[in-house]
Structure 1
């Protein structure tokens, strides 16, 4: 998934259900200068999503 986020950042957002964010990223990626920030944004968003899921799992385990 990280490879998709680097090569096709907009597809990474689409696959995770963030359609509007995917369109914004696609518009940003259409410019040559905007491709690098779009790729960084997609990777950072992917890592942040994984960390939030991990925190929710740990919180559920602590409550039991």
Structure 2
């Protein structure tokens, strides 16, 4: 989470969002753009975690049905 706040572009690239990461780096290089880039990085990280939980829940439900 700290990486998503301090270096949001790198955080997105590490999570597999290469194009988003590059765009976020460009946005981060401006002083005004750093704050929206940090917010975007945290939001992207939270969305990735939510998708992971959703996939795990679906996998658990599919095993229960068998």
Unaligned runs of 5+ in 1: none
CA distance in 2 between partners of 1:55 and 1:48 (Å): 10
**Other-structure match for 1:62:** 61
Residues 45-60 of structure 1 aligned to structure 2 (within 5 Å): 45-60=44-59
Residues 1-64 of structure 1 aligned to structure 2 (within 5 Å): 2-64=1-63
Report the structure number with the largest CA radius of gyration: 2
Higher mean displacement: 34-43 or 13-22: 13-22
CA RMSD of superposed structures (Å)? 0.7
Q: Which runs of 4+ in 1 moved over 2 A?
A: none
Unaligned runs of 5+ in 2: none
